[in-house]
Every structure is written in C-alpha cells, then in structure tokens.
C-alpha cells in the first residue's frame, strides 16, 4: 500500500501541473499571468522533489531547487519589474478568444492522453502517466505561445512548455543529464528574459507587442 501512496502523490502533482497550465490559459492580465506561472514552477519543484524522493535520486533535488529558486522566484520577480518598467500591465491581447482557447486546450490534453497511453503499455504506470501529463503541459504551453501576441506572455508560454519537458525528464526513471539539461534551459531563459530581447524591443519600439514588429517584414513590397 505504501507504494500506492507514493504513486498517488506523484500523480496528483503532475495532474496539478496540467491544471495550472489551464489556469494560465485564461489569465488576461500580465501580473496575474506571472503569478500563475510562479505557481506552475512551484508545483513543478514539488513534483521533481517528490520524484527525487521516491526514485532515491539525490541529483534531482538540484533540478527541484533550480525550479523553485530560479523559475518560481527570480524569473517572476524579474518579469514583474520588466512589466512595471515598461508600463504594460494592461489587458493581454489574445489572438483567439479565451473560450475557444480553453476548448482547444481540452482537445490537446485528450490528444496527449490518447497518444502517450496507447504507445506505452509496457512502461510502468507512474512513468506513462507522467509522460502523458508532460505532453499535455507541453502542448498547452505551445497553445499559449501561438494564441498570445505579447512578448512577455510568449516567453511565459515557452517556460511552461519547458516545465513540461522537465516533468517528462524527471519522470523517466534514471535518465542521465537531467540536471545538465535543466541548467541549459535555465541559461536559455535567463538569456532571453532578463535581458537582451525585451530591452532591445523596448528600446526600439517602446512596446513589447509583437504586432508592432510585423510591419518590418523585409519582403513587403
């Protein structure tokens, strides 16, 4: 029975991550979106720590700490400051309306379940459900990136997508290089978020709305 308890908690945390992904889909204010993303990263950190515990893999605690410290605290704080400094705490412009987006999200989760559960009948129950949840989080992140125009929310969409990957990597028992991969991703995100792009875009356009960028397409006649 003890094993079942371990499984249930892991299951709950991974499922919670999918739920928080849905929460992010319908946030229409940037501050709220950033807060929900911090929650997303926090749930991920718990889930990774739990995996580290049940797999008896101490190196995964490093990944959990990175998720907690970097993605649940440092990045949200930095994003808050950027949003504040740029003065863009108004409504998010969504390309598709929220109802349709949510329906699309439900469809994607169903797709993820069908695909992953069908191809992994031999894997152990924990790993296959983790993979299905991870693919759902990944697809929801992707959905968020395509339905948003705003640079900050696109970055948040990308980060939630990446959280799904970390979930998959930690769920795959004994996978090497997980810590290295999560560090590589953090570097990628740090590069993008903290600096260069948002500041450059701000500097050149006084807006982080990517629609403003569209007019500069080189091939317009």
Partner 1 sequence: MNLGPFDPVVAILAIPAGAAILLALLPGYLATSRLNVLASFSTFVSAFTLFFAPHRQSQFFLIDDVNIVFVTLTTFVAFTTSVFSASYIGHELESGRLTPVYLRFYHAMYQVLMLAMNLALVANNIGLMWVAIEMATLTTVLMVGIYRTPAAIEAAWKYFILGSVGIALALFGTILVYMAARPTVGEGLDAMAWTTLVAHASTFDPALLNVAFVFLLLGYGTKVGLAPLHAWLPDAHAEGPTPISAVLSGLLLNVALYALLRFKLLMATNPGAIATGSLMVAMGLLSVVFASFMLYRRRDIKRLFAYSSIEHMGIITFAFGMGGPLANFAGLLHMTMHSLTKSAIFFAVGHISQIKGTQKIADIRGLTETHPILGWGLVLSVVAIAGLPPLGIFMSEFLVVTSTFAREPALAIILVFGVILALGALFLRLNSVAFGEPTGSRAPSQASYVPMYAHLALVTIAGIYLPPPLVTWFQHVARLLG
Residues making contact with partner 1 (CB under 8 A): 115-116, 118-120, 122-123, 127, 131, 134-135, 138, 142, 145, 151, 154, 158, 161-162, 165, 168-169, 172-177, 180-181, 184, 187-188, 191-192, 196-197, 200-201, 204-205, 210, 213-214, 216-219, 221
Q: Look at residue 44 and give its three-state secondary structure.
A: helix
Nearest residue (CB) to partner 1, 99 versus 174: 174
Question: Rounded to 10 degrees, what is the CA torsion of 103, 151, 189, 65?
Answer: -60
Least Cβ distance, residue 184 to partner 1 (angstroms) = 5
The pair phi, psi for residue 213, each rounded to 5°, is -75, -25
Least Cβ distance, residue 107 to partner 1 (angstroms) = 18
Task: Answer for the pair 18, 140: CB distance below 8 angstroms, yes or no.
Answer: yes
Least Cβ distance, residue 185 to partner 1 (angstroms) = 8
Q: How far apart are the C-alpha atoms of 160 and 142, rounded to whole Å?
A: 9
Nearest residue (CB) to partner 1, 34 versus 128: 128
Nearest residue (CB) to partner 1, 99 versus 218: 218
If phi > 0 it is left, if psi is from -120 to 50 it is alpha, else beta; for residue 206 that is left
Q: How far apart are the C-alpha atoms of 186 and 162, rounded to whole Å?
A: 10
Least Cβ distance, residue 1 to partner 1 (angstroms) = 26
What is the dihedral sign for C-alpha 214, 216, 218, 221? Answer: positive
Least Cβ distance, residue 218 to partner 1 (angstroms) = 5
Nearest residue (CB) to partner 1, 35 versus 210: 210
């Amino acid at each position: 029975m003890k094993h079942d308890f371990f499984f249930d908690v892991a299951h709950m945390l991974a499922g919670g991550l999918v739920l928080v992904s849905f929460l992010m889909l319908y946030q229409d204010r940037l501050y709220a979106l950033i807060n929900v993303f911090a929650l997303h990263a926090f749930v991920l950190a718990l889930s990774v720590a739990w995996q580290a515990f049940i797999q008896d893999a101490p190196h995964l605690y490093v990944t959990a700490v990175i998720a907690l410290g970097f993605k649940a605290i440092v990045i949200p704080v930095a994003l808050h400051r950027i949003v504040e400094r740029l003065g863009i705490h108004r409504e998010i412009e969504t390309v598709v309306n929220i109802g349709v987006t949510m329906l699309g999200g439900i469809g994607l989760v169903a797709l993820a379940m069908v695909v992953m559960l069908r191809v992994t009948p031999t894997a152990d129950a924990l790993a296959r459900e983790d993979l299905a949840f991870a693919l759902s989080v990944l697809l929801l992140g992707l959905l968020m990136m395509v339905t948003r125009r705003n640079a900050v929310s696109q970055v948040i969409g990308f980060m939630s997508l990446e959280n799904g990957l970390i979930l998959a990597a930690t769920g795959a028992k004994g996978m090497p290089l997980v810590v290295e991969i999560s560090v590589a991703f953090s570097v990628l995100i740090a590069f993008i978020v903290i600096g260069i792009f948002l500041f450059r875009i701000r500097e050149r356009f006084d807006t982080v709305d990517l629609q403003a960028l569209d007019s500069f397409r080189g091939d317009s006649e």
